[in-house]
Amino acid sequence: MPTSTFLRGQLWWAAVPYLPEKPLDVLRRSKAGELRVALTFKHRPVLVVQSDFYNAQPRYNYLVVAPVHSLKAEDEARLRRVNYAADLVLEAGEGGLPQPSVIFLNQLRTLHKNVAENFIGQLPPHRIEEMDARLAFCLGLL
């Protein structure tokens, strides 16, 4: 996939490293005594938050993304009520997502571009502006 296909504010399906909820169940010691954790990968939507300057660089093979989680009705109502600065709540249909979702902007990850598999959609400009403000707050840039 050409690296120029990624743009800031796009949503993609990607294989994202996932640490099980009980990481102590998957801890192992190597023969050298190093502690190892077995990661699995979940196929989930991610939002590209990285600058288009880096997205377009043919030799820069990484994306900075935020994970996207679908929401049940009661979770959506609670998140909208508490309005965490790090949570960007989307309605069904926004950015091509079929159901209400939340983007956790305080859980940024770096992924290789080859794990982003299928384009979902693009956030509209006003939602990217909101994302920028929430990211700035999360990263202490205000």
pLDDT at 94: 95
Residue 65: inside a domain, yes or no? yes
Residue 133: inside a domain, yes or no? yes
Number of domains, the chain = 1
- pLDDT of 47 strictly over 80: yes
The CATH code of the domain that includes 88 is 2.30.30.110
Task: Tell me what the mean pLDDT of segment 35-54 comes to.
Answer: 87
In the block, tokens 């992924």 appear at 111
Claim: this prediction has a pTM higher than 0.85: no
Residue 77: inside a domain, yes or no? yes
Residue 21: inside a domain, yes or no? no
Q: Sort 104 into a burial class: Cβ within 10 Å, 0-12 / 13-18 / 19+.
A: middle
Other CB atoms within 10 Å distance of the CB of residue 38 = 11
Residue 31: inside a domain, yes or no? no
**pLDDT digit string (tens) for 65-82?**
999 999 988 888 888 888
Domain containing 83 equals: 3-15+44-138
**pLDDT digit string (tens) for 77-135?**
888 888 888 999 999 999 999 999 999 999 999 999 999 999 999 999 999 999 999 99
Task: Tell me what the mean pLDDT of segment 17-38 comes to.
Answer: 65
Residue 52: inside a domain, yes or no? yes
**pLDDT digit string (tens) for 133-142?**
999 999 999 7
**Residue among 110, 89, 92 at smallest CA distance from 100:** 92
Residue 76: inside a domain, yes or no? yes
Rounded to whole angstroms, the Cα distance separating 96 from 66 reads 16
Residue 37: inside a domain, yes or no? no
- pLDDT of 2 strictly over 50: no
